[in-house]
Amino acid sequence: MSTWAHDVLQPLARQKIALALDEGIRRNDRLFAGALKPIRGVPD
């Protein structure tokens, strides 16, 4: 397993974070800070 998966993804997976589908992408992005990279061309 890569260091990133071990250090970043595993802790997030253990938290069993529920996505808030009605809240929108911006809220969910904050829940997964550190695991997501910005996508060029998509506004903040």
What residue type is assigned to position 35 of the chain?
Answer: A
DSSP 1-44: --HHIIIIIHHHHHHTPPP-TTT-HHHHHHHTTTT----TTS--
Q: Given this model, what pLDDT does residue 6 score?
A: 92
- 43, part of any domain: no
Report the predicted TM-score, pTM, of the whole model to 2 decimal places.
0.58
Residue 44 resides in a domain: no
Number of domains in the chain: 1
Whether residue 18 lies inside any domain: the answer is yes
**4-29, pLDDT tens digit by residue?**
889 989 998 899 888 878 887 778 88
Does a structural domain hold residue 20? yes
| 1 pLDDT above the threshold of 80 | no
* Domain coverage including residue 31: 1-38
Residue 28 lies in a domain: yes
Residue 39: band (very low, low, confident or very high) from pLDDT cuts 50, 70, 90? confident
Q: Would residue 26 count as lying in a domain?
A: yes
